[in-house]
Amino acid sequence: MRDYETLRQQHLARAMALAPEMIDRLEWPAYALAAHRVRLLRELVREAISRSPWHRERLAGVDPDQLDEVSLRELPPMTKADLMANFDRIVTDPRLSLELVNEHLETVTTGSYLLDDYTAVTSGGSTGERGVFVYDWDSWTAFWLSAFRYQLLAKWSDPELASRPVVMAWVAAAHFTHATAALSRTFASPDFISVRFPVTLTTEHMVAGLNVAQPDFLVAYPSALHVLSVEARAGRLRIAPHQVLSCSEPLLPEIRAAAEEAWGVRVGNIWGMSEGGCAGVACEQGRMHLSEDLVIVEPVDEQGQPVAPGERAAKIYLTNLFNPVLPLIRYEITDEVTILTEPCACGSAHRCVADIQGRLDDVFVYDGRRVHPHVFRSALGRRAGVVEYQVHQTTQGARIAVRCSAPVDLDGLRGEIALALACLGLQRPVIEIMAVERLERDGGPAKLRRFVPLESRRTAAPGPRAEPVLIAAR
Ligand SMILES: [Zn+2]
């Protein structure tokens, strides 16, 4: 095994060599991006058929050279359960196995490459179902650039930022098995300093650390972003970021507004995933663009039928075009996205995606009635004193933990939510609200699961197809 730091430096050099082309692709016209995707799709499927026994069986009879983005829709989709059950037959390097990758993940805190080439990450996902993903040398580089090409471009095109090292602060997952942490370790450089604050730190420590770091770019889970914007408005957090981005959890409108007010910059979203890197990244206008040179995103309904641009999808099928070692072809991800057709003022031909408002898994089902988290979110989000919250579904309603920075009329809040649920047909809803010092975060990536359904999605029966998701009338 070669020395980690030597390999890492080579990897960083490779990333810098690939960056100009990846940045250039941000300006490609739509037809060039489409042609590029079809070329990569054919290469990926050819590789999958020739080197992955699992894909070879499923894709029998498929001619890679005839594939395009329309005929792709005829291929069978795959799920995380498929991936985990067939991992050893899906990877295209026979030396890799789930057992080997899991062993490697146990030791990853010390910094090492698997077989001198691979980086592995896990994802808890909002369902808590563990996924394991492995990237080869160049695909891990592409993963990093899928997010950081925007910041590299900002640095290279701004004389002030170009003249000094830039600092990027992450308020996110702490563990190196999580992609964001693993990426900042692999590609750490003196020009591009990454500072990490585990989201589980106390607010006081986080604020003190950020005041010292003075980040040019701030990336944070929305739940943390909201806390930080409260701290900034109170004058305790004194930073002036060039750009603020949120990741991993839905960016709620009220959180975005509070952060934009606190720092006077547009707040954008990163739609990152362990499966496909940053599938969407906000430009400086704050609008999120699909990474249309790296992934194919098919928005579909619950039955897997295509959803038109402008309509919200129930989930997507993702085809990762840049990681041939773990071919993910039409891989199901339950993010509710809306692809937009209106162009962005920044001029990019990469289509825009509306803010991801929630995940299917967040929907609460009461006796077949599906209640959208917005019912809770709108009542909680309008209380200025509520810094963060977590809603657990109960058989008759919900148990809500709130952390407040100022007095909040909890009785009024309870009444409003109960009334909203009653209007949606729940009989005598019971809402409990507790003010807490801090919220319980799950283990793993320490991501706050804001809405916790009574049963996990894996065990719950799917809601009836015709039943609409209920959103309280405003
Ligand atoms: Zn834009």
Q: How far is the CA of 294 from the centre of ligand 1 (A)?
A: 17
Q: How far is the CA of 144 from the centre of ligand 1 (A)?
A: 20
Strand order in the sheet with 469-470: 364-366, 369-371, 469-470
Q: How far is the CA of 352 from the centre of ligand 1 (A)?
A: 7
Assign 383 a pLDDT band (cuts: 50, 70, 90): confident
Q: Over 70: is that where the pLDDT of 138 sits?
A: yes
Q: How far is the CA of 348 from the centre of ligand 1 (A)?
A: 6
Q: Over 80: is that where the pLDDT of 248 sits?
A: no
Residue of 41, 14, 39, 42 lying closest to 140 (CA atoms): 14
Q: Over 70: is that where the pLDDT of 449 sits?
A: yes
- Please name every residue paired with 246 in a beta bridge, in sequence order, or none if there are none: 220, 269
The pLDDT, as a whole number, for residue 119 is 94
The pLDDT, as a whole number, for residue 244 is 93
The pLDDT, as a whole number, for residue 128 is 43
Q: How far is the CA of 245 from the centre of ligand 1 (A)?
A: 14
The two tokens of residue 43 are 């290469």
Q: How far is the CA of 282 from the centre of ligand 1 (A)?
A: 7
The two tokens of residue 77 are 């989709």
Give the C-alpha separation, 442 to 448, whole Å: 7
Assign 474 a pLDDT band (cuts: 50, 70, 90): very low
8 Å CB contact between 354 and 269: no
The pLDDT, as a whole number, for residue 399 is 94
8 Å CB contact between 320 and 331: yes
Q: How far is the CA of 150 from the centre of ligand 1 (A)?
A: 11
Assign 85 a pLDDT band (cuts: 50, 70, 90): very high
Q: Over 70: is that where the pLDDT of 361 sits?
A: no
Q: How far is the CA of 429 from the centre of ligand 1 (A)?
A: 43
Q: How far is the CA of 349 from the centre of ligand 1 (A)?
A: 9
The pLDDT, as a whole number, for residue 82 is 95
Q: How far is the CA of 334 from the centre of ligand 1 (A)?
A: 25
In the DSSP assignment, the letter for residue 108 is G
Q: How far is the CA of 372 from the centre of ligand 1 (A)?
A: 29
Average of per-residue pLDDT across 384-390: 77
Q: How far is the CA of 31 from the centre of ligand 1 (A)?
A: 18
Q: How far is the CA of 343 from the centre of ligand 1 (A)?
A: 8
The pLDDT, as a whole number, for residue 180 is 78
Give the C-alpha separation, 396 to 212, whole Å: 47
Q: How far is the CA of 223 from the centre of ligand 1 (A)?
A: 24
Q: How far is the CA of 351 from the centre of ligand 1 (A)?
A: 9
In the chain, the percentage of residues whose pLDDT exceeds 90 is 57
Q: Over 70: is that where the pLDDT of 358 sits?
A: no
Choose from 17-26, 112-121, 239-248 the range with maximum mean pLDDT: 17-26
CB count, 10 Å around CB of 41?
A: 20
Strand order in the sheet with 331-333: 295-300, 315-320, 331-333
Q: How far is the CA of 249 from the centre of ligand 1 (A)?
A: 21
The pLDDT, as a whole number, for residue 115 is 94
Higher pLDDT, 319 or 426: 319
Q: How far is the CA of 234 from the centre of ligand 1 (A)?
A: 31
The pLDDT, as a whole number, for residue 382 is 64
The pLDDT, as a whole number, for residue 43 is 98
Q: How far is the CA of 286 from the centre of ligand 1 (A)?
A: 7
Assign 176 a pLDDT band (cuts: 50, 70, 90): low
Q: How far is the CA of 272 from the centre of ligand 1 (A)?
A: 17
Q: How far is the CA of 84 from the centre of ligand 1 (A)?
A: 36
Q: Write the burial class of residue 47 (CB in 10 Å: 0-12 exposed, 13-18 middle, 19+ buried).
A: middle
Per-residue pLDDT tens for 23-60? 999 999 999 999 999 999 999 999 999 999 999 999 99
The pLDDT, as a whole number, for residue 177 is 60
Per-residue pLDDT tens for 300-346? 999 999 999 999 998 999 999 999 999 999 999 988 889 998 999 99
Residue of 321, 268, 249, 22 lying closest to 148 (CA atoms): 22
Assign 465 a pLDDT band (cuts: 50, 70, 90): very low
Assign 178 a pLDDT band (cuts: 50, 70, 90): confident
Q: How far is the CA of 265 from the centre of ligand 1 (A)?
A: 15
- pTM over 0.75? The answer is yes
Q: How far is the CA of 19 from the centre of ligand 1 (A)?
A: 19
Q: What is the mean pLDDT of the chain?
A: 86
Q: How far is the CA of 266 from the centre of ligand 1 (A)?
A: 12
The secondary element (H helix, E strand) that includes residue 67 is none
| Own/partner long-range contacts of 56-60 (Cβ < 8 Å, ≥24 apart) | 59/329
Quick one: how far is CA 411 from the chain centroid? Answer: 35
With tokens 């809770």, the residue in question is 376
Assign 299 a pLDDT band (cuts: 50, 70, 90): very high
The pLDDT, as a whole number, for residue 175 is 61
Assign 211 a pLDDT band (cuts: 50, 70, 90): very high
Q: How far is the CA of 295 from the centre of ligand 1 (A)?
A: 18
Assign 185 a pLDDT band (cuts: 50, 70, 90): confident
Average of per-residue pLDDT across 419-446: 80
Q: Over 50: is that where the pLDDT of 423 sits?
A: yes
The length of the chain in residues reads 474
